Structure 1
Amino acid sequence: MLKDHVTQQQHMASCSVGRRLVACLLNVSEARRKELVETVARAALYNNKAGVRREGTTVLNIFNDHDYNRSVITIVASIDSIREAVLSACEEACGLIDMGAHMGVHPRMGAVDLIPIYPLGEEVGVEDCAKEARAVAEGLTERVQGTSAFLFGWADSPLQRGLAQRRREMGWFKKTPQLQAIRPDMGPQPHHPLGLTGVGASPYVMNCNVTIDTQDMAIARSIAAALRGSTPGGLPGVQVLALPHGGAVEIACNVESVEGGPPGGTERWPCFSIGGRPYCHVPASLITTRVAELAGGRGVGVKGTALVGFTPHECRRLAEIALAQGIAEFWKERGEVRM
């Protein structure tokens, strides 16, 4: 049995090398109509005109958040196939979501709010993902009339401005963004019902949300500020928002993969390599521990932690399984799949 398992793992690894896998964590501004979100996910998997499945493409996960009214769809394909899969999903989303009628506590500017593309191994470089991200942004603005986009990360050449900086520049963090004041990188002046989409590429960004047992936003914002990587003593690569959520507050973290090893080399962080360069990311367990310490010092407890999707290692491993077993709608069958 062990030999069979090892052989299967070797076969999946060999298949993944040939596929040159990348992931897109597509963020759409809808979660309360789950059937709509699944329709968007299936558009990435099936060629609607021909009615056939796109080979070598899988949707690993759909994360819906009712309060945010936002979903994250994890699409994995080869670097050569990701563009059409993502554009098809975006076209479907833009035809179904009206930003003029959107309600939710999470900041957002577009029906398709975010299109990040990440390499899932040594076989693909971030520069390859950046090229595809720019092509996706161009394709979106050409194929869906009225869409506009800004670029971030490696796709934002030559400046390579990060997502947080680009969002600040676009006014994404404001309660009521002024679309008429925005100058997009591609497409026309943003307007409802489609809004503005961020498109970019970088090493993998994990999403980790920790819920604290309070409704006091002042406490939550102080915890978020202390946690940020830009704060002295904060966690490297971590960007944080404090948002009302389910009668409590969620400390919502974007966890960027940072080049090199953990600071000081004393903590064991998950690591991987892209183009021969080492990257690592803060583990969710450390984020939870740090939030618990910061909240406990203010007399507040922690209610729980949720990963939006997967860690980089999990994403690649599950993609290898899904593609080796020919499972397109993996999010539906994951609990029944032989790992």
Structure 2
Amino acid sequence: MKIIETLPNISEGRNSELIRQIRDLSDNYNRIWFISCKSDEYFNRSFISVAGDCEEIEDFLYKLTAICIEKIDMNNHTGYHPRIGAIDVIPIVPVVGITFEEANNLVERLAKKISESFSLPIYLYEKSAKKEERKNINNIRKGEFEFLEKKMKLPEWKPDFGPDIPHPTAGATIMGVRDPLITLDFHLNNSDRWLVEQIKQELLMILPANIFLERKFNGKFNMSVNAKEGEISLTILYNEVTRVINHFGCELERVTLSSPIMGSTFLKSFRNLAEKLDGEIITIEEKILANSEVRKIRKDQI
């Protein structure tokens, strides 16, 4: 079986019923595994991770898009994360037995189907980008949903698929094949936003990473650090972030993994950090196999 991971980011982090509906959707497939979902009320955004068979993932993403277009109105959306649409970005990551070309064919096939079915503009990014300036997602998001209509009037921002105007409620969607991300959450024992922002700015100057801040219910901050696996090792990322946090005299409560790690080779280089991290260390491949065994047992018991 050819396996891919998809990590759709949707512009809704406060509606638990919508997240439950998406999770229930994934349960309708025999060869799809729901890996994780992280919803952020401050960003008003949910980060979903699903892996499985290519054909079933393609159908799942099409139906997820339909649900989000129905349930999310970007005209009423507020949140502290850049976004241009209800289904803001759909990354595709090859996992097992699939080439870049095969994954990219899936992206283009799905982009065409979604754009035609829902009149939704699609921009291709990262490895699927047809223009150099669209490889970086931040270039596509510049101006966000509020200025998307004006931006799309420029010839250089004509979408790769779909109409030349935003969907009236869903905006536009970004899709593409990309490398796996390293994601670590640093839980800070500090409620001083000014200090935490200084740490963030220092890290942005020295690391090839995206950094997001989340104020927790107790007032303390969580710092989520995302970097491409091919651009920095997990060890260096961990060491540099903890060094800067300590330099600013900020106490670090713990570091956690927000989602499973992909790749057994990557896991081997990661083992030396095992004692410093909370949570179970598991690869996506192991997660899929474990869930498969659970499903098999359940079916045998019916």
TM-score (norm 1): 0.70
How far the C-alpha of 1:151 sits from its partner, in A, is 0.9
1:137 aligns with 2:137: no
Structure 1 regions of 5+ residues with no counterpart? 1-18, 47-53, 260-280, 328-332, 334-339
CA root-mean-square deviation? 2.7
Helix, strand or coil at the partner of 1:32: coil
Question: Alignment identity in percent?
Answer: 20
1:282 aligns with 2:233: yes
| Number of the residue aligned with 1:254 | 226
| Number of the residue aligned with 1:212 | 188
| Number of the residue aligned with 1:59 | 34
| Number of the residue aligned with 1:71 | 46
Helix, strand or coil at the partner of 1:199: strand
Helix, strand or coil at the partner of 1:73: strand
Q: 1:172-251 counterparts in 2 under 5 A?
A: 177-180=146-149, 181-182=151-152, 183=157, 184-188=159-163, 189-214=165-190, 219-228=195-204, 231=205, 234-235=206-207, 238-246=208-216, 247-251=219-223
How far the C-alpha of 1:302 sits from its partner, in A, is 2.4
How far the C-alpha of 1:244 sits from its partner, in A, is 4.6
1:171 to 121, 142, 150: 142
The answer to whether the 8 A contact 1:23-1:118 is kept is yes
Q: In 1, distance between residues paired with 2:122 and 2:180?
A: 21
Helix, strand or coil at the partner of 2:288: helix
CA deviations on 1:87-112 (whole Å, 9 max, x unpaired) are 11121122111112222222222111
1:301 aligns with 2:270: no
CA deviations on 1:251-304 (whole Å, 9 max, x unpaired) are 332221217xxxxxxxxxxxxxxxxxxxxx632x65344223212222222244
Question: Of the two structures, which has the highest relative contact order with CA contacts closer than 8 Å and spacing of 6 or more?
Answer: 1
Residue type of the alignment partner of 1:255:
A
How far the C-alpha of 1:201 sits from its partner, in A, is 0.6
Q: In 2, distance between residues paired with 1:304 and 1:97?
A: 34
Q: In 1, distance between residues paired with 2:199 and 2:63?
A: 39
How far the C-alpha of 1:221 sits from its partner, in A, is 4.2
| Number of the residue aligned with 2:10 | 28
How far the C-alpha of 1:222 sits from its partner, in A, is 4.2
Change (3 A) 1:221 1:242: farther
Q: In 2, distance between residues paired with 1:304 and 1:91?
A: 38
CA deviations on 1:221-250 (whole Å, 9 max, x unpaired) are 44334434xx4xx34xx4223435223444
Q: In 2, distance between residues paired with 1:177 and 1:209?
A: 30
Q: In 1, distance between residues paired with 2:125 and 2:131?
A: 10
Change (3 A) 1:34 1:294: same
1:83 aligns with 2:53: no
Could you say which structure has the higher helix fraction? 2
1:317 aligns with 2:286: yes
Change (3 A) 1:218 1:71: same
The answer to whether the 8 A contact 1:26-1:116 is kept is yes
The answer to whether the 8 A contact 1:57-1:75 is kept is yes
Q: In 1, distance between residues paired with 2:295 and 2:172?
A: 34
Change (3 A) 1:219 1:242: farther
Q: In 2, distance between residues paired with 1:137 and 1:218?
A: 41
2:101 to 109, 116, 127: 127
Which 10-residue stretch deviates more, 208-217 or 79-88?
208-217
The answer to whether the 8 A contact 2:214-2:223 is kept is no
Q: In 1, distance between residues paired with 2:58 and 2:249?
A: 48
The answer to whether the 8 A contact 1:59-1:75 is kept is yes
The answer to whether the 8 A contact 1:292-1:301 is kept is no
Change (3 A) 1:191 1:91: closer
How far the C-alpha of 1:115 sits from its partner, in A, is 0.5
CA deviations on 1:155-177 (whole Å, 9 max, x unpaired) are 11364953xx23224316x6x74
Q: In 1, distance between residues paired with 2:140 and 2:86?
A: 19
Structure 2 regions of 5+ residues with no counterpart? 264-282
Q: In 2, distance between residues paired with 1:292 and 1:148?
A: 41
How far the C-alpha of 1:33 sits from its partner, in A, is 1.7
The answer to whether the 8 A contact 1:60-1:318 is kept is yes
Change (3 A) 1:250 1:101: same
Residue type of the alignment partner of 1:86:
L
